[in-house]
Structure 1
Amino acid sequence: MPIRREHRFFYPIDWPQLSAVIRFRRAGGRCEGCGRPHGQLVYHLGDGRWWDAEKAAWRDGRGCSARLALGMVDVLALVRTTRVVLAAAHRNHDTADNASANLVAFCQRCHMIHDRPEHRRRRWRTLFRRKALGDLLGGPYR
């Protein structure tokens, strides 16, 4: 996940190397949340369940074995694919705390779930600012 330009100065100069160590040496190229492998094309159902080709089994959003209720829903009609890309994330959302225990390797899905409260806060702030500017300047809300 790319770092926003305005947030780059929060990260250390050696962030790419530090991130690579966490993602590939410590995590072994797999998401530490669900176990999805980096760089692989993964079949998934959109609700967190994904096909682990190495184990030849379906996994849930936490990487545990999952069973599919056959006969109720056409599973093949729901299957989608995605390429997994690992990113290093801060557990406590503090970019100044780069201790190994605070960093975790997440796939896109797990990273978005982890950052959901921050994304909601930013969304609320953006909408609030737009409305405040509209009130102040008498313009439309966009």
Structure 2
Amino acid sequence: MPIRPENKNRYPADWALRSRFVRFVRARNRCEWCGAENGKPHPVTGKKVVLTTAHVFDHRPEAASLLNLASLCQLCHNRHDAKMRRAGIKRRREIEGGQMALEF
């Protein structure tokens, strides 16, 4: 996933190095969840795999420890982020509807 310009300053200065390390050294150029190989057809979708670096447990850009990062294909990354996106849409609807969601 591309970094949004408004969030760029929230990532650590060595983000590119961390991202490359996770994707190409630790994960050996494969998705850490499904094993799809970078640049090859995805076994499920058939589309060319492009690895991304995902925040797994803590989605904040500042949370860039290697234990929080994973090398994921587009399918796995989108499935992982879908839960967060759905929660964000629900929260925006509640706010726009005049009700603020409580967070504990």
TMscore range, shorter length: 0.7 to 0.9
**Secondary structure at 1:89's aligned position in 2?**
strand
Q: CA deviation at 1:43?
A: 4.5
Q: CA deviation at 1:126?
A: 4.3
Q: What is the CA RMSD across the aligned residues, in angstroms?
A: 1.9
Structure 2 equivalent of residue 36 of structure 1: 36
Give the TM-score taking structure 2 as reference length.
0.79
Which of 42, 48, 52 is the aligned partner of 1:83? 48
Highest CA radius of gyration, 1 or 2?
Answer: 1
Deviation digits for residues 1-36 of structure 1 (CA, Å, limit 9, x no counterpart): 101122222211221121011000110000000000
Q: CA deviation at 1:117?
A: 1.9
**Secondary structure at 1:105's aligned position in 2?**
strand
Structure 2 segments unaligned to the other structure (5+ residues): 99-104
Structure 1 segments unaligned to the other structure (5+ residues): 45-79, 133-142
AA in 1 matched with 2:56: R
Would you identify which runs of 4 or more consecutive aligned residues in structure 1 move more than 6 Å? Answer: none
Q: Map 1:93-132 onto structure 2 (within 5 A).
A: 93-128=59-94
